[in-house]
Structure formats: structure tokens, C-alpha cells
Amino acid sequence: ILNVEQSPQSLHVQEGDSTNFTCSFPSSNFYALHWYRWETAKSPEALFVMTLNGDEKKKGRISATLNTKEGYSYLYIKGSQPEDSATYLCASNRDDKIIFGKGTRLHILP
Amino acid sequence: GAGVSQSPSNKVTEKGKDVELRCDPISGHTALYWYRQSLGQGLEFLIYFQGNSAPDKSGLPSDRFSAERTGGSVSTLTIQRTQQEDSAVYLCASSLFSLRENDLDTQYFGPGTRLTVL
């Protein structure tokens, strides 16, 4: 693949449930994979940067894994809370560009 | 400390006019990035600066777009002869290191400039 693809595009999750979504990226000329959280009317906020195959990062209830050989990353949210509602973007550094996916829009249902 | 700032926050212009968007990165950040988000689209990478130079300008949508960065700090994105399809939110980000350096290149985004071309 040449683009960064994220799935699903949109996701509704009951408060308290755990969820995960996927980012697929070109595995050639890979440097780093970023995850961002983008709330409506705010700027994107960096969550994780990962560079090595097998990397796992965690920040509170959110964690991410990286597979550079097959070109995918998962973002996990444990015990979803209303404040987790946002668009989650992933981006891949490749050569001198950074390519973003279109995001997964997460809605947490009360 | 101060984050990335952008000005203006909103810009409405008439088709055919030139506009200049400004980005003030976090002090000491080597790399600066410009993106845009058109309605219903994801973030589109435009250009990135490593210091004052831009290794790759191919992300700029057309030759009406240009960007410069002086003194390794402030950057301006200029759009000449604006068209309606240029309407978008233009986001700037900066990071301590450049894209080809280690994994500490976390980007910090500014609030964006919403450009509307009538």
C-alpha cells in the first residue's frame, strides 16, 4: 500500500467498554509511526511515536503497538470514557514526507 | 511554555487575491510542518522545513503555493491567486528534531488558520 489507511472510519462504543482500531501504512522506507488525538475545535495532540518493530507504548488507558514488517499499528483504549471521544489519527514518516490517515472517529455512548 | 501559534485564526478572502499565513513554532524546534485539512478530508501534508530549508516541496498543491522560513523560526505560507478549492484549515506544527532523526520528533500543532475563499 502507498497510503496510510485507518479503519474503521467511525466507531461507537459504550462507556466502559474497551476498543481498538487499526492503522495500515507502507512498510518500505519507514521511519516512524505517530498517533494523534484530535478533538473537535482543538489542535491534534500527539499520543505516541513508535519506530521499532514490536514497539508498544502506553499512556494511561491508551496503548499502541507497531508491526513495521507488515505495516500496521493498533491503538487500544481500555475502559472508554466520554472524554475519549475524538478523531484518532495515525501518520507515517516516509522519506521527507509525513502521510496522515483520514482518522477513526470515536464516539463514546453514555 | 508557549506553544505553536498561527495567525490569522480566520481569513476570508476573495478569489484571485493573495494570502499569507504565519506560523510561530515552539522556540528551539528544528522542524516545522505545514498541513491543510479541506472539508471532509484528512490532514494533507504540504511541506516541512528542517531549519530554514525544505528538503521536499512536492507536497505543495500547485505553484501558487510557496513557503519560507527565516532564521530557523517563523514560517509563512503564501497562496497566490487564491481559488475556492484552497478553502481549508491550514495547520502548522513544529518538532524538536527533523523527520529523519530519532523518534523524538513528536509534533506540536498550532490552532490553525481557517481560510475561506469566496
Average pLDDT, chain A: 90
Give the nearest partner residue to B56 out of A45, A46, A96, using CB atoms: A96
Q: Are A72 and A23 in contact (CB under 8 A)?
A: yes
Q: Is the peptide bond before B8 cis (omega within 30 degrees of 0)?
A: yes
- The answer to whether the Cβ–Cβ distance between A96 and B48 falls below 8 Å is yes
* Shortest CA distance from A42: residue in chain B: B111
Q: Are B36 and B88 in contact (CB under 8 A)?
A: yes
Average pLDDT per consecutive 10 residues, chain B (118 residues; last block may be shorter)? 89 97 93 86 84 82 93 93 95 78 70 94
- The answer to whether the Cβ–Cβ distance between B35 and A100 falls below 8 Å is yes
How far apart are alpha carbons A67 and A50 in whole angstroms? 10
pLDDT digits (tens, 9 = 90+) for B22-39: 999 999 898 899 999 887
Q: According to the model, what pLDDT value does residue A16 have?
A: 97
- The answer to whether the Cβ–Cβ distance between A97 and B110 falls below 8 Å is no
Give the nearest partner residue to A98 out of B45, B104, B112, using CB atoms: B45
How far apart are alpha carbons B60 and B12 in whole angstroms? 21
* Residues from chain B contacting residue A97 (CB–CB below 8 Å): 45, 48, 56, 58-59, 99
Q: According to the model, what pLDDT value does residue B42 have?
A: 74
* Residues from chain A contacting residue B106 (CB–CB below 8 Å): 34, 46, 49
pLDDT digits (tens, 9 = 90+) for A3-17: 899 999 999 999 999
- The answer to whether the Cβ–Cβ distance between A44 and B91 falls below 8 Å is yes
Residue B12 has phi, psi (to 5 degrees) of -110, 130
Residue B2 cell numbers, joined? 508557549
How far apart are alpha carbons B44 and B41 in whole angstroms? 8
Give the nearest partner residue to A97 out of B56, B102, B109, using CB atoms: B56
Q: According to the model, what pLDDT value does residue B63 have?
A: 93
DSSP state of A34: E
